[in-house]
Homo-oligomer: A and B are copies of this chain.
Amino acid sequence: MKVSSYKKENDITYSLGATVTMEYLNVRPDLVEGVIIHPRFDSSDTMSKINDICSSRGIAVEVSEKPFNILSKKGNCFVIGVIRKQKEEIGQGCHVVLVNPSDAGNMGTIIRTCAGFGITDIAVVPPAVDMYDPKTVRASMGARARVRMELFESFEEYEKRFPGNHIYPFMLDGSTLLQNTKIESPFSLVFGNEASGLPQMFQKKGHPIRIEHTNNIDSLNLPTAAGIAVFEATRSVFCS
């Protein structure tokens, strides 16, 4: 298989690592175009699982070292999945909305949290980090295969598509405390950029929520804030 360093404009992305690739093989084998194994990969158990799925699905498996030099500089990766990007469209229901997310690792961690609490639709408002970036996929631990993500032109475009959703922007100066807010379904939990948060115009959208913290920090880490919010919103029932 020929691989080249990841580019946003290509229609291929990569799952780096055995765990992440196994998630794609288990959940979305239809998107896997091939699997590359490092010559020094030594887990025969995982290897036989990969071979089983790939042979039954007609997915090519190749042992080769070179792709790892191109795609994984850290050297702690022994399995690569070649993943076809597919246009995704989110459905009705509960959503997390990321406005201007700038870090692929953070986006991946939030995807993992969403999958963990039953939210499978994530809306993204640009400018935004690439939702197919191998770093995003890897930080999600493969949960990227389990969620649908859709890029909207603007938050207004998102709102138009989901007029029945209750909007909860998370802001440092949100008017109500998270623990005092009854979050109603279907909900949209909206988070801003790591450094700058949400633009002030979100004060006028739905019910702005504040996660109260001491003055000893400027803000919570974004995936931590999103984790707290998603846990609270879904704590009684997982959203369907």
Contacts and interface: CB of A to CB of B under 8 A. Distances in A.
Interface of A: 19, 109, 112-113, 115-118, 141, 143, 146, 179, 211, 213-214, 216-218, 220-221, 223-225, 227-228, 231, 235-236, 238
A116 B227 contact: no
A14 B137 CA distance: 31
A145 to B, nearest CB: 10
Contacts of A216: 115-116, 118, 143, 146
19 contacts: A109-B221, A112-B217, A113-B220, A113-B221, A113-B224, A116-B216, A117-B213, A117-B214, A118-B214, A118-B216, A141-B217, A211-B231, A220-B227, A223-B223, A223-B224, A224-B227, A225-B227, A227-B227, A228-B231
A140 to B, nearest CB: 9
Given A109-B224, A116-B213, A213-B117, A141 B218 contact: yes
Contacts of A238: 214
Nearest to A177: B235
B179 A220 contact: no
Contact of A223 (B143, B214, B221): B221
A118 B146 CA distance: 35
A116 B146 CA distance: 32
A108 B216 CA distance: 14
Given A115-B217, A211-B231, 14 more contacts: A109-B221, A109-B224, A113-B221, A116-B213, A116-B217, A116-B220, A118-B214, A141-B217, A141-B218, A143-B217, A146-B216, A223-B224, A224-B224, A227-B227
Nearest to A213: B116
Given A117-B214, A214-B118, A112 B221 contact: yes
Contacts of A227: 220-221, 224-225, 227-228
Contacts of A231: 211, 228
The 9 closest A-B pairs by CB, nearest first: A224-B227, A116-B213, A116-B217, A115-B216, A228-B231, A109-B221, A179-B235, A146-B216, A227-B227
A146 B213 CA distance: 14
Contacts of A220: 112-113, 116, 227
Contacts of A179: 235-236
